Amino acid sequence: MDENIKDRLKTIVDYKQLNYGEFAKEISVAQSTISNIFGARGTTPSVEVILRLHQRYPDINLEWLLTGKGKMCNGSSEEVEASLQTKDSCSSLFIEETAQSPEDSSDGKNRRENPLGNAPNRPKNIVHQEIIYKERPPRRITEIRIFFDDNTYETFKPEK
């Protein structure tokens, strides 16, 4: 198997069943960064991208990601086999049930978004800004110095 790191990243994206935008959001990098890696530019992923991926998915074998050696997922072969069946994560230890029964969905308790209701009316502080212009007396030239390349200088003082 002659893969490069971009192919292994694509394998992870496919494995996690994400599109490139979702993948960028998951690992907290700009979408343009992922586009540059997988797009026509074909840039090599930076160390920051690799570290963010490893932070988000610690179950991905870092040695496999960097070199292609070993298995994609950390853990025993039974865990990896079980996770391949679920297609959710390399480790099946923390798999959550996402299906809800019809009676649970009506109360809104398990919803991700809950309305806040009416915001309390608070008086707004009014900010007053005042600009003060200070008059300066006119400035006068008191001295002019001219420096020469032979490290000498002359001073001129205007007559008053």
* Domains along the sequence of the chain with CATH: 5-95 (1.10.260.40)
Closest CA to 147 of 156, 138, 159: 156
Statement: residue 76 has pLDDT above 70: no
The DSSP bridge partners found for residue 154 are 146
Torsion angle of C-alpha atoms 9, 29, 87, 63, degrees rounded to 10? 40
pTM of the predicted model, to two decimals? 0.47
The predicted structure's pLDDT at residue 90? 57
Q: 28-70 pLDDT, tens per residue?
A: 888 888 888 888 777 888 888 888 888 888 888 888 888 888 8
The predicted structure's pLDDT at residue 114? 55
CA atoms of 83 and 60, how far apart (whole Å): 12
Candidate from 82-86, 87-91, 93-97 with smallest mean pLDDT? 93-97
SS3 state of residue 120: coil
Residue written as token pair 């001295």: 143
What are the phi and psi torsion angles at 144 (to 5°)? Answer: -130, 130
CA atoms of 58 and 71, how far apart (whole Å): 14
The predicted structure's pLDDT at residue 116? 61
The gap from C-alpha 82 to its chain's centroid, in whole angstroms, comes to 31
Tokens (6 digits) for 49:
């991208």
